[in-house]
A = this chain, B = another copy of it.
Amino acid sequence: MVFNKLLKEYKKIWALGVAKSSIYYDLTIFSPKESIKDKGEALGILSTLKKQILTSKTFLDLFEKAKKQANSDFEKGVIRVLERELDYYLKIPEDFMVDYNKLISKSSNKWLEAKKKSNFKIFKPYLEQIIEYSKKLANFLNSDKEPYDVLLDLFDEGMNMKKLDSIFAIKKELKHLLDKVLENEWPEESRLKDLNYDKAKLRLLIVALLRSLGFDFNRGRIDYYEHPFTSNITNNDVRITFNNKNKDFADVLTSVIHEFGHAIYDLQIDEKLAKTPVSSQENMSIHESQSRFWENIIGRSKEFMSFLLPLIKEFLNIDTDEDELFYYFNLVKPSLIRTKADELTYNFHIFIRYEIEKAIFKEEVSVKELPELWNDLYEKYLGIKPNNDKEGILQDVHWSEALFGYFPSYTLGNLLSAQIMFKIKDFNNLLSEKNFAAIRLWLKENIHKHGNIYPPEVLIKKALGEDLNPDYFIKYLKTKYLKV
């Protein structure tokens, strides 16, 4: 009874969430530019309303009563997720949050300016402040723990440096593997990268591709946007954006398949969880494991190329074969830009950022020294060195938005995606048969349908029968890159 009351009251939060994501999506894709400032203000006010409702006496009373009665996995999940959210609102002072958000807004602008001018000095004072604020924020939340551990936990419940250090120890073996693949002269370029094609046809190809993978256009839509993302407006309205360049179709298609991986997660959550606090997976590593699974494990596989080939021929009018496609989708080359990296080098970009973030919060490095540290680490891990700040330390938006602790989840997602592959019964057969329905069903039954009922470690154990184990990722890469 009290639980139903709590969930009913929570629907206000859900409706405000629908409002915010609708306005935000519209602002990004459809809004005339002169209205963007107004929309930003409206979003801010809606966030304040959300906080007022969540921290109202009515809601907190219901929450405390419900907490004592929580019994089922669902109820415990609701309490756990709400507690994390309330923590954030109740422990961090209002004034601090106002200043913090203002700082982030300013620092994002300054980062953009600095990146355009490729000049870290412009961003430096703001980054220093962002770091100070992040430490304070971590302290408000839990002053008993190391600040960086508190921040890691914000993006992945239960994650900390100790665990990450142990997981990321694979970097030695990864480095070894990378060197071997490079020695074997794995292709690092493809003529397909530079072919022109008709953008309108690419859009049709994307629709056909998404339909085949199982995207339901009655429960979502696609739109063009420079920086691809997935937006969950409701559990029945999940949208994917794609970059419609007219070159390098592998880049566009893998990005669409990546976003499909996010989208299908949201679309396969048990409908009974809709409009509740556990209606979506908020832990980045888990969500990212799904986008990487579809993008890499499926979308870059040899088997997938036989599915893709006729589409490429028909829609883009490009003459190629499965082999050429496969290598084009899997070029390996150490490079400076994380978002352009291949499966073998990608995680080194993350190891570098993780090391730097640890050093920052352990106060082992000053902000002034970061560009040099960045460049040295690239030299160390990938054997190449940025020529300027734009292709070096200024490339990612994350730090300007105070997203410290976010990067590791990309690698955690990669590791998990490979482990999942080995756990799906007959995966290679299903993939050969292009039986995406069976793969979707496995993911739904074992992972997606649970929404955010379980914290990551519990969910992983439940779905895979064991803890996260990075060895599967090495095994996957070895099979793919050494035995083809």
A residues near B (Cβ < 8 Å) are 11-12, 14-16, 18-20, 22-23, 25-26, 30-35, 37-39, 41-42, 45-46, 48-49, 216-221, 233-237, 274-275
A234 partner, pick from B11, B38, B48, B217, beta carbons under 8 A: B38
A34 partner, pick from B33, B35, B218, beta carbons under 8 A: B218
Given known A-B contacts A35-B236, A38-B236, A234-B39, A221 and B30 have beta carbons under 8 A apart: yes
Kindly list the 4 A-B residue pairs having the minimum CB-CB distance in the complex, ordered from nearest. Answer: A19-B19, A35-B237, A15-B45, A35-B236
Given known A-B contacts A22-B26, A23-B22, A39-B18, A218 and B33 have beta carbons under 8 A apart: yes
Which residues of B sit under 8 angstroms from A233, Cβ to Cβ?
35
CB distance from A4 to the nearest CB of B (A): 16
Given known A-B contacts A22-B26, A38-B236, A15 and B49 have beta carbons under 8 A apart: yes
A22 to B42, CA, bound (A): 11
A234 to B237, CA, bound (A): 24
Contact A49 B218 (CB under 8 A): no
Which residues of B sit under 8 angstroms from A34, Cβ to Cβ?
216, 218-219, 236-237
A46 to B49, CA, bound (A): 11
CB distance from A221 to the nearest CB of B (A): 6
Which residues of B sit under 8 angstroms from A11, Cβ to Cβ?
41, 45
Which residues of B sit under 8 angstroms from A14, Cβ to Cβ?
42, 45
Which residues of B sit under 8 angstroms from A41, Cβ to Cβ?
11, 15, 275
| 27 A-B pairs whose Cβ atoms sit less than 8 Å apart in the complex | A11-B45, A12-B48, A14-B45, A15-B42, A15-B46, A16-B46, A18-B39, A19-B19, A19-B46, A22-B23, A26-B26, A30-B30, A30-B221, A31-B221, A32-B218, A32-B220, A32-B221, A33-B218, A34-B237, A35-B233, A35-B237, A37-B236, A38-B235, A38-B274, A39-B234, A39-B237, A42-B234
A30 to B231, CA, bound (A): 14
Which residues of B sit under 8 angstroms from A45, Cβ to Cβ?
11-12, 14-15
Contact A19 B42 (CB under 8 A): yes
A40 to B46, CA, bound (A): 18
CB distance from A267 to the nearest CB of B (A): 10
Which residues of B sit under 8 angstroms from A221, Cβ to Cβ?
30-32
Contact B38 A18 (CB under 8 A): yes
CB distance from A378 to the nearest CB of B (A): 42
A11 to B46, CA, bound (A): 10
A18 to B44, CA, bound (A): 12
A38 to B32, CA, bound (A): 26
Which residues of B sit under 8 angstroms from A18, Cβ to Cβ?
23, 38-39, 42
Contact A12 B236 (CB under 8 A): no
A46 to B45, CA, bound (A): 14
A408 to B295, CA, bound (A): 59
